[in-house]
A and B are shown apart, each in its own frame.
Chain A
Amino acid sequence: MRKPEPDVNFALVPAVRLRRLAAADADAAPYDFAEFQRRSDLATVRPGSLSSARGAALAAAVSGLLLGAVLWQQLTLAPGAATSGDEGTAVLAQRADSEADDSASPALVRAGSLVARSELEERIAFFDAVLSESRVGSAQPERLAALEQGRSELVDSLQRVHYAEQLMAP
Chain B
Amino acid sequence: MSRLTDLIFPPDLLERAGQGDLVAQERLYRELSPPVFALIRRLVGDWATAEDLFQDSLMLVFRDLPQFRGEAPFGVWVRRIAVSRCFMHLRSPWQRARRALSDLSYADDAADDAVFGLREAGADSGDQIDLSRALAQLKPVARTVLWLHDVEGYTHEEIARGYGRTVSFSKSQLARAHEALQPLLAGTEDMPCASRSLT
Please report A residues at the B interface, Cβ cutoff 8 Å. 6, 8-9, 12-15, 17-31, 33, 36, 39-40, 43, 46-48, 117, 121-122, 124-126, 128-129, 132-133, 136-137, 162, 165
Q: Which residue of B lies closest to A122 (CB)?
A: B56
B21 / chain A contacts, CB cutoff of 8 Å = none
A161 → chain B closest CB, angstroms: 10
Apart from A12-B195, A46-B59, 4 more pairs, CB < 8 Å: A14-B181, A22-B3, A36-B58, A129-B84
A74 to B124, CA, bound (A): 61
A29 / chain B contacts, CB cutoff of 8 Å = 29-30, 33-34, 37
For the residues of B in contact with A, the DSSP-based class is helix
Interface pairs A-B: 8 shortest CB-CB: A29-B33, A26-B121, A25-B38, A15-B150, A8-B194, A33-B26, A128-B84, A33-B29
A40 to B20, CA, bound (A): 14
Whether A162 pairs with B94 at a CB distance below 8 angstroms is yes
B63 / chain A contacts, CB cutoff of 8 Å = 47-48
A30 to B57, CA, bound (A): 13
For the residues of A in contact with B, the DSSP-based class is helix
Whether B121 pairs with A125 at a CB distance below 8 angstroms is no
Of the stretches B7-15, B101-109, B127-135, B165-173, the one at the interface is: B127-135
B74 on interface, CB distance cutoff 8 Å? no
A24 to B125, CA, bound (A): 10
Whether A22 pairs with B151 at a CB distance below 8 angstroms is yes
A10 → chain B closest CB, angstroms: 9
Known A-B contacts A19-B151, A40-B59, A136-B72; the reply to A125 vs B85 at CB < 8 A is yes
